[in-house]
Chains A and B, each alone.
Chain A
């Protein structure tokens, strides 16, 4: 490894630490392990998605030992748009970048996700596919979560609810409010024998919604 590679890797690690410190001080992000313990088990954390800060928030809420083996699944068209984003996406977060453009893509996104799982990594996944900008708490899930459950049944699928981020930094605002963001980890969801895709995805979405706090979120 050349010294420039080493310097880049060190810089990536420092940037990662800076993001964790920033998340802890600005949003006082805290993890609530309601359905699982913070153990180094291979998992896919599937989460609601309303803000660009969602992924760094889950990432910062994980204990360091778990964070080191967890990679977010993220959109290549977003994370490769500028050189700075490419550095953060690929080297700081070590994201599994997938191409969202159905027609133009050359690589199958599922292959990249399963490949990362086979290397032993845990993943952060947003099964809604896009950021949810509407009034509904969750958009319909894409098929990917079902494919993972089918192809890699040993991996725990952990529902992960991120609360308060929209109140902290609504779209279009400049100053973040220093409210407490809570990341709640629920009990893993497993594919039942004979369960079809639609039923499984509906059940996974319900498990995620069940973690939503009754109060305290911006209406």
Chain B
């Protein structure tokens, strides 16, 4: 099978699944008695709607090739950083550091990803930016809540920029096959992590059981277990998207799913801390970029390095 055939098959498969899920959501809604409101059903439907949007944007980016994919994730990263930085601790004195984060560090990170300079994009933010931004903040002159301010800014950059940039960074792993096969790896990561999250959301209601952390969200161990299992199984079934054998693909997807579900747990804790329901209302009925892509953000760096090892 050529890569193009695989992309077409994948797109058809995704559209078929989304159509089926949309039909399922509508039938669930039809079963809700008139005048009543089932929050679970509405959340499910809203999530499917946002998947349609993501699938459409992703398809458009694929048509534009590697630059399109890098640009799409750079824009998503910008929106995510805006959501995160809205709630981080900051003072007037951090203005220069934050402006630098949005308008220089973020574009540079995605530029280096686009150019394939792995030696730079894997260390730029966790090492160099980590060391330089606190200096800028200190030059601002205010010691008040200093460590909180610089730590939260670094957290924003690590998740929203570094984490998210490792999705298009997968394109740099496979130069021999000219990028197209690696495009499939991006699809593999997103599909398995999102599949795990969707399964968790459904399974936690079906299976019940004790909550993991009632103060953070309604997640249960049974639901998360089902999510990781579904992600792993989905990974095995989609192994044809990767250059790896079925068992390796399944393990990769399982690791990504566990990381993704863990990451959305951490992001939920931050939302609770700030009394937020959603990070923003960028995607109507769904929430912000961080609500939709949180799991992928946490899964991408691990997934990237595991793929680099196995390759």
Neighbouring B residues of A173 by C-beta, 8 Å: 95
Q: Indicate if A84 sits at the interface (CB-CB under 8 A).
A: no
Query: With a CB–CB cut-off of 8 A, which chain B residues contact A179?
Result: 82, 85-86
Asked if A216 is at the interface of the complex by the 8 Å CB criterion, the answer is yes
Tell whether A177 is near chain B: CB-to-CB under 8 Å.
yes
Contact in complex: A178, B281 (CB < 8 Å):
no
Query: 1/0 per residue A159-190: CB within 8 Å of B?
Result: 00000100100100101011110000000000
B86 & A218 in contact (Cβ 8 Å cutoff): no
> In the complex, A120 Cα to B35 Cα: how many Å?
36
Q: Which of B89, B98, B102, B275 contacts A219 (CB 8 A)?
A: B89
Closest 4 CB pairs of A and B: A180-B86, A216-B87, A175-B99, A179-B86
Asked if A30 is an interface residue, CB under 8 A from chain B, the answer is yes
Interface string of A187-219 (1 = CB under 8 A from B): 000000000000000000000000001111011
**Which residue of chain B has the shortest Cβ distance to A170 in the bound complex?**
B92
Q: Which residue of A lies closest to B79 (CB)?
A: A28
Residue of A nearest to B280 (CB): A180
Q: Determine if B130 is an interface residue (Cβ-Cβ < 8 Å).
A: no
> Contacting A177 at CB < 8 Å: which of B85, B91, B275?
B85
At the interface, yes or no: B218 with Cβ under 8 Å from chain A? no
Contact present for B145 and A216 (CB under 8 Å): no
**Beyond A175-B95, A178-B82, A218-B90: 11 further Cβ-contacts under 8 Å?**
A28-B280, A28-B282, A167-B90, A175-B99, A175-B103, A179-B86, A213-B274, A215-B87, A215-B274, A216-B274, A219-B144
Q: Does B83 contact A (CB under 8 A)?
A: yes
**B78: Cβ under 8 A from any A Cβ:** yes
Contact partner of A30 among B98, B99, B280, CB < 8 A? Answer: B280
Task: Tell whether A30 pairs with B144 under 8 Å between CB atoms, given A175-B99, A216-B86.
Answer: no
- The reply on B26 being an interface residue by CB < 8 A is no
Q: If the complex has contacts A30-B280, A215-B273, A219-B144, are A180 and B82 also in contact, measured as CB distance less than 8 A? A: yes
- Cβ-closest chain B residue relative to A27: B82
A180–B83 contact, CB under 8 A? yes
Task: Return 14 A-B CB contacts under 8 Å, by A number.
Answer: A170-B95, A175-B103, A177-B85, A177-B95, A177-B102, A178-B78, A180-B83, A180-B86, A214-B275, A215-B87, A215-B273, A219-B89, A219-B91, A219-B145
Chain B residues near A167 (CB-CB < 8 A): 90
A173 to B103 CA separation, bound complex (whole angstroms): 15
Partner-A contacts on B (CB < 8 A): 78, 82-83, 85-87, 89-92, 95, 98-99, 102-103, 144-145, 273-275, 280-282
Q: How many A-B residue pairs have CB under 8 A?
A: 45
**B87 with A28: CB separation less than 8 A:** no
Q: Tell me, rounded to whole Å, the shortest Cβ–Cβ distance linking A43 to chain B.
A: 23
**What's the Cα separation between A213 and B273 when bound, in Å?**
12
What are the residues of chain B within 8 A of A30 when measuring CB–CB?
Answer: 280-281
| Closest CB in chain B relative to A51 CB, distance in Å | 13
Contacts of B85 in A (CB 8 A): 177, 179
The distance in angstroms between the C-alpha atoms of A164 and B78, with both chains bound, is 18
A180 contact set on B, CB distance < 8 A: 82-83, 86, 280
**Which one, B102, B144, B145, B282, contacts A178 given CB within 8 A?**
B102
CA distance A213 to B276 in the complex (A): 10
Q: Whole-angstrom distance between the alpha carbons of A114 and B282 in the complex?
A: 38
Residues of A within 8 A of B103 (CB): 175
Closest to B98 in A: A177
Tell me which residues across on chain B come within 8 A of A178, comparing CB atoms.
78, 82, 102
Q: How far is the CA of A86 from the CA of B267 in the complex (A)?
A: 47
CB distance from B149 to the nearest CB of A (A): 9
**Measured between alpha carbons, how far is A78 from B290 in the docked complex, in Å?**
41
Interface residues of A in 28-44 (CB under 8 A from B): 28, 30
Nearest CB on B from A36, distance (A): 18
Decide: A215 and B102 in contact? CB cutoff 8 A: no
Closest to A177 in B: B98
Contact with B along A40-68 (1 / 0, CB 8 A): 00000000000000000000000000000
CB of B153, distance to nearest CB on chain A (Å)? 11
Q: Please, how many angstroms separate the alpha-carbon atoms of A98 and B22 in the complex?
A: 55
Quote the shortest CB–CB distance from A23 to chain B (angstroms).
14
A219 CA / B145 CA spacing, docked (Å): 9
Chain A positions within 8 Å of B275 at CB level? 213-215
Chain A residues contacting B78 (CB-CB under 8 Å) are 178
On chain B, the residues within 8 Å of A170 by CB distance are: 92, 95
Report A75 CB to chain B, min CB distance, Å.
25
Which residues of chain A are within 8 angstroms of B274 by Cβ–Cβ distance? 213, 215-216
Using Cβ atoms and an 8 Å threshold, which residues of chain A touch B90?
167, 218
Q: Which residue of B lies closest to A175 (CB)?
A: B99
B92 nearest CB neighbor, chain A only: A170
User: Across the interface, which residues of A come within 8 angstroms of B95, CB to CB?
Assistant: 170, 173, 175, 177
